[in-house]
């Protein structure tokens, strides 16, 4: 069976929703940027690419992958857009790796894109009536009091905190450390190799080159985080705040996957091998704890355990679920999100999984290689994880 190897991995810098540098940039432009860069950085020609898979969670449907293929000069390459909510980008990488391991494709570009700042707004007509719901969003699961489908602060954050007895202080400490680590990574230039500088036109017509993540807060302190109001003061003991939750963000990321045979024939340097992946479903009220099941499942498929992993990226949808996951699985927090995550870098939903893969590959190569795991929960009661064996530089 062929191995699926990563031969390039890149992303845009992450922008802040509506107030950031990418506020007037479409998902189509973001996707074009990373797809074009992924191909160029791989050393492959357009004619080498068999398929393009992009996660797209909240941009109104359509096939953004095919759009990116055409604009990036991959006219002969088909494209498919998929939606697994927060895990869309990670699932895109898994789909590409699966096609390669099955022997169906030799080269697949895979990733995800999220442009919440320019996302379309939907309307929905209630069946059998003339009543329209404005600002409608397709629900991830049937609405329930214990798992509201439009309020992840309860469904994911609060429920995870209650299940694992995570305190407000623990969440705020996790979020604070996330910002510290993200700022440190930026200042040390650790993201430079993975970020594609992007020329951006602002609403006033001026242009700028966007190449530094802008969501991390340098001035965050534990005292400021502790002083933030909870999102649901009417719920006794509620501990989720904007500070210990992920951001709403814009970004895109893409990796180039090839078979090991194709990489050898073209003299390409494999950066990592995709060892395994897994996705799980859980009760929607347990969404925040889904990585607790997805991570061991993916590791078992690779013949590994938590003790074999050198670096983890566990998306900080809410700090509560990261504290809970590491506690339950007995994961050393020092090797989790070493360059920040959702609370600091932000969570560009459909792009986050591919962003995590990209960051893990670059960071672990910088450290000499090893085993990496990317994992996340996803709306509707899902979780996904992927195991990578990163090569030494």
Judge whether 362 counts as a catalytic residue: no
CA distance 369 to 390: 5
- Give every CB contact of residue 187 below 8 A, 6+ residues apart in sequence: none
In DSSP terms, 112 is beta-bridged to: 55, 253
**Which residue has 């500070």 as its token pair?**
243
Judge whether 347 counts as a catalytic residue: yes
Residue of 10, 322, 343, 377 marked active site: 377
Of 346, 357, 260, the closest CA to residue 312 belongs to: 357
CA distance 35 to 113: 10
CA distance 350 to 336: 21
Within 10 Å of residue 86's Cβ, how many Cβ atoms?
33
Judge whether 343 counts as a catalytic residue: no
CA distance 388 to 311: 10
Residue of 86, 179, 215, 362 marked active site: 86
Q: Which two tokens stand for residue 8?
A: 């390039």
Residue of 179, 215, 347, 362 marked active site: 347
Parallel, antiparallel or unpaired: strands 4-11 and 272-281: antiparallel
Query: Which residues does the annotation mark as catalytic?
Result: 86, 347, 377
């Amino acid at each position: 069976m062929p191995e699926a190897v990563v031969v390039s991995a890149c992303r845009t810098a992450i922008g802040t929703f509506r107030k950031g540098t990418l506020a007037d940039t479409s998902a189509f432009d973001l996707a074009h940027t990373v797809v074009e860069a992924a191909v160029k950085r791989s050393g492959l020609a357009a004619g080498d690419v068999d398929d393009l898979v992009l996660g797209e969670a909240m941009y109104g449907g359509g096939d953004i992958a095919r759009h990116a293929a055409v604009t990036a000069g991959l006219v002969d390459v088909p494209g498919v857009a998929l939606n697994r909510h927060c895990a869309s980008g990670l699932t895109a990488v898994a789909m590409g790796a699966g096609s390669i391991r099955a022997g169906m494709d030799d080269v697949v570009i895979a990733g995800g894109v999220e442009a919440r700042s320019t996302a379309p707004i939907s309307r929905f007509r209630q069946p059998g009536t003339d009543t329209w719901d404005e600002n409608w969003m397709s629900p991830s699961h049937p609405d329930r009091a214990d798992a509201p489908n439009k309020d992840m602060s309860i469904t994911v954050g609060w429920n995870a905190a209650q299940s694992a007895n995570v305190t407000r202080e623990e969440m705020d400490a996790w979020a604070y450390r996330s910002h510290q680590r993200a700022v440190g990574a930026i200042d040390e230039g650790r993201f430079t190799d993975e970020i594609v500088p992007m020329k951006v036109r602002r609403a006033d017509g001026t242009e700028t080159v966007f190449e530094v993540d802008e969501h991390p807060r340098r001035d965050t302190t534990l005292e400021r985080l502790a002083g933030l109001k909870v999102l649901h003061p009417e719920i006794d003991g509620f501990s989720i705040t904007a500070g210990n939750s992920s951001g709403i963000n814009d970004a895109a990321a893409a990796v180039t996957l090839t078979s090991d045979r194709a990489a050898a024939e073209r003299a390409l340097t494999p950066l990592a091998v995709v060892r395994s992946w897994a996705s799980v479903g859980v009760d929607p009220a347990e969404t925040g704890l889904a990585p607790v099941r997805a991570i061991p499942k993916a590791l078992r498929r690779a013949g590994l355990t938590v003790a074999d992993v050198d670096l983890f990226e566990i998306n900080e949808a809410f700090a509560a679920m990261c504290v809970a996951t590491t506690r339950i699985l007995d994961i050393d927090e020092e090797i989790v999100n070493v360059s920040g995550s959702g609370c600091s870098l932000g969570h560009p939903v459909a792009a986050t999984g591919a962003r995590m893969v990209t960051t893990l590959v670059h960071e672990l190569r910088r450290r000499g290689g090893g085993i990496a795991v990317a994992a996340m929960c996803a709306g509707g009661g899902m979780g996904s994880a992927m195991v990578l064996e990163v090569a030494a530089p």
